[in-house]
Amino acid sequence: MSIDVIQEKQFTIKAGVLIFFVLFGLVIYFNSLKNDFHYDDRHHITTNAYIRSPGNIPLFFTEPRTFSSLSTRFRHYRPMVLASYAVNHYFGGLNPLGYHLVNLGLHVGSAFILFLIMHAMLEGKLFIPLAAGILFLTTPFNSEVVNYITARSSVMCSFFYLLSFYCWVRFRGQKKSYFYIASILAFLLAMLTKEIAITLPAILFLYDYYFERSLLRKIYQYLPFVLIGTLTGFMARFIFFGSFNEGAGKKLEDSFHFVTKVKVLATYLYHTIVPAQLSIQHFIQESLDVYFFLSLIIILLLAVLAVHLLRNPDRTGKVISFFIAWFFIVLLPVVAFSLNTPYQENRGYLSGVGVMAILAAGMAIFKTRWDHKAGLQKAVIYGLPVILVTLYSAGTIVRNPVWLNDLTLWSDVMIKYPESIQAHYNIGNYYNKLGDKNRAEAEYKAILKIEPGNYGALTRLGEISYMKGDLDTGMKFLQQAWKTAPLEATANQIIALVYREKGDLLLSSRHLLFVLTSSPHNLRIYELLMENYAGMGKLDDAYKMINKALKEDPGNPGARRGLGLIYMFNRQWEAAQREFEKVLLYMPNDYRTLTDLVYIYSKLGMSDAAEKQGKKVLSLYPQDSAVAQILGDVYQKQGRVDEAMKLYEMALKTDRGQFNSYNNLGLVYFDKGDMPRARVTFEEGIKQYPSNHIIRFNLARVYERQGKNELARLEYQKVLKATSKGEDTKEIYQAAREKLTALN
């Protein structure tokens, strides 16, 4: 058989496997595609304004603030992940479907690359590569990386990691330089995705130790990987974050202890093979119990097995030994540097590659030994992979709906860990978001029974009381929360709103400044601060504060927004325009900035710009009554009365509180001579805003035009009474007086 025929056959097999993996992956994960955002998705994606524009992608490589809307608390160097979110948002906004599809594509791709790796390492054998790939694809343990969008960092990093390793294996087999270059580039992408890729150079060296000779002659070939790992790993810590310790985890000695580490390693192994009791939250007890000793024995046995099989002349045995070492090496960053929890399923994704390779190779060994036997033994060895894949697939399909929303996800945690504070908290947040305050309160109070001083529960109870208008009760809860964590953002923000409601703008501002220490680019906080300073007549102080923030970080969009608001309050329209347009360079779809620009353009007489911007806002937020009203004003000034009328009607349909829309729509009817509709509109406006003298004045004009002079006289008298003492109401006072004189 010629080389061309062999290559064509190999290509056909690989293409067939890829198609099968894609179709099978879609089948078992189809019921996951409608699942919602969860947990860290909020600050990484849904509230992270930077991912809303692909134009921000260069910033992801240089600016720490782009990683999260809580950038002072969560800081990692993962520009490739952020770039993928930006692309997702560009094509699908905040529809979770597109995000799940990308995660699924990366998972299917990783499973296929595992197949290719095993196929190359075992020199064309099919059973082990196919079994390893399909087991890795279907195990419910890996379902978290598809369902939990923020876990993209794990699956994307693993995809590039595996691709780099595959190219290295091909390079060693064929000595083609393009495989070497591709391996380096894929490793760079892996390092720009997640720090765990730092272990790849060790894996490459290990592969050569197991399967190649003359290591010293080839040592220079590792140098690009070492340099990339050093530059993107250590240098990112020192330059991007300021120190090595800041960012992903704590120092080694401050991390969880040896007992926990042993249990974590064993749990990753167990859950990958036996995916039972899966959960978004796990509790690993740090105690010298039976589980610890069993875990230690399993780990030691694996290590002994790896050493024993290394000396085995059989290549399959060496492959098992290699992937045992793989399992431990890729988990080193996970056990050495903890994040906020010792154990999360998605962090074991890459180690699962090793586990499934071992499992598949082990089944192949038994298959070889029992292949000559007949009856039950042969049926078992051939049926076991099919049964396992069937069970895994069914388990994944059953697991996916758990991730439908926060209620289903955290109720699942409650079943497994009834005392979970985080589960109570997130279920409470779910009910709170739905507006079911009673159920939300019950969940938060359940937390206080477990942990009386819990910051999150106290804060949310304070927020609910504030929303109900019970400011005193709300403040009691909030003050307790604040004493627990004085610099945490949420309690400070709600305390600021309570003080604002009570009219104490100074104390409100102080707490908003606390919020900026943890969320320094938050546009909403800057807005509230500027409104407070304006209310206190201290815009000069606000200006100094904003300038200081911009000196520290010229690209701070929140500070730019604040500066624009200062100019807006001072009616410096052109200066405000410049600042708001700078904000949109970073956050092109920020609703409040877009809305304010429509207003500013209309004030500057820039009708075309106002119309273009207004249409953009309405395309993004079709129910935006404020923009509909402003755009209606623009059309009215241009004489486009019918278009203006439609926008005013739309504004009032979505928000009955738009008093300008009442007035302007009534004026449109008045100018068209439609007095009955003008009267209804103005009367409805007066019901909503009884003290609005402009609407009342125009209502009197309608009565006068209809010949209802007594009603007109009564309304003019009310206008005179309301405007007799105001400096800014002299004009309308004079107009009402003249009208009343004419009627008399």
CA 347 remoteness from chain centre: 18
| Structure confidence at residue 525 as a pLDDT band (50, 70, 90) | confident
Task: Determine, yes or no, domain membership for 635.
Answer: no
Task: Determine, yes or no, domain membership for 99.
Answer: yes
Whether the CA torsion 283, 289, 292, 298 is positive or negative: it is: negative
H or E stretch at 715: helix 709-723
| Global confidence as pTM | 0.80
pLDDT at 371: 62
**236, 305, 356 from 109: Cα distances, Å:** 28, 30, 16
Task: Determine, yes or no, domain membership for 161.
Answer: yes
Domain residues for the domain of 157 are 10-37+94-248+353-400
CA distance 88 to 97: 10
Q: CB neighbours (10 Å) of residue 519? A: 24
Per the CB < 8 A criterion, the answer to whether 135 and 33 are in contact is no
- Model confidence at 180: pLDDT above 50: yes
- Model confidence at 347: pLDDT above 90: yes
Number of domains composing the chain:
1
CA distance 431 to 443: 9
Per the CB < 8 A criterion, the answer to whether 525 and 490 are in contact is no
| Structure confidence at residue 235 as a pLDDT band (50, 70, 90) | low
Task: Determine, yes or no, domain membership for 645.
Answer: no
Per the CB < 8 A criterion, the answer to whether 364 and 316 are in contact is yes
- Higher local confidence (pLDDT), 570 or 249: 570
CA distance 224 to 168: 13
CA distance 525 to 72: 15
Query: Residue 274 has what DSSP assignment?
Result: S
Residue 535, burial from CB neighbour count under 10 angstroms (0-12, 13-18, 19+): middle
Write out pLDDT tens, residues 317-329.
899 999 999 999 9
- Residue 694: helix, strand or coil by DSSP? helix
CA distance 723 to 741: 16
CA distance 188 to 230: 11
Task: Determine, yes or no, domain membership for 59.
Answer: no
pLDDT at 144: 95
Range 233-248 average pLDDT: 55
Helices 730-743 & 693-705 angle (0-180, nearest 10): 20
Write out pLDDT tens, residues 591-620.
788 888 888 988 888 888 888 888 888 877
pLDDT at 93: 87
Q: 162: number of CA atoms within 13 Å, CB side?
A: 29
Per the CB < 8 A criterion, the answer to whether 736 and 723 are in contact is yes
Per the CB < 8 A criterion, the answer to whether 500 and 528 are in contact is yes
| Structure confidence at residue 744 as a pLDDT band (50, 70, 90) | confident
**38, 74, 552 from 71: Cα distances, Å:** 18, 5, 15
CA distance 192 to 84: 12
pLDDT at 112: 98
Per the CB < 8 A criterion, the answer to whether 565 and 593 are in contact is no
Mean pLDDT of the chain: 86
- Model confidence at 586: pLDDT above 80: no
- Model confidence at 375: pLDDT above 70: no
| Structure confidence at residue 271 as a pLDDT band (50, 70, 90) | very high
Task: Determine, yes or no, domain membership for 86.
Answer: no
- Model confidence at 376: pLDDT above 70: no
Per the CB < 8 A criterion, the answer to whether 481 and 459 are in contact is yes
H or E stretch at 365: helix 349-370
Residue 438, burial from CB neighbour count under 10 angstroms (0-12, 13-18, 19+): exposed
Task: Determine, yes or no, domain membership for 369.
Answer: yes
pLDDT at 247: 45
Write out pLDDT tens, residues 406-460.
999 999 999 999 989 999 999 999 999 888 999 999 999 999 999 999 999 999 9
Return the top range by mean pLDDT from 98-107, 252-261, 607-616, 618-627: 98-107
Per the CB < 8 A criterion, the answer to whether 33 and 97 are in contact is yes
pLDDT at 198: 93
| Structure confidence at residue 110 as a pLDDT band (50, 70, 90) | very high
Which of 328, 323, 331 is CA-nearest to residue 348?
331
CA distance 566 to 537: 11
- Model confidence at 299: pLDDT above 90: yes
182-189 own/partner pairs: CB under 8 Å, 24+ apart: 184/224, 184/225, 184/228, 186/160, 186/161, 187/160, 187/161, 187/225, 187/228, 187/229, 188/228, 188/232, 189/80, 189/160
Task: Determine, yes or no, domain membership for 336.
Answer: no
CA distance 700 to 705: 9
Per the CB < 8 A criterion, the answer to whether 467 and 436 are in contact is no
By percentage, how much of the chain surpasses pLDDT 90?
42
Range from 148-162, 169-183, 226-240, 536-550 carrying the lowest mean pLDDT? 226-240
Return the top range by mean pLDDT from 76-90, 310-324, 396-410: 396-410
CA distance 403 to 414: 14
pLDDT at 656: 60
pLDDT at 252: 40
Query: Residue 122 has what DSSP assignment?
Result: T
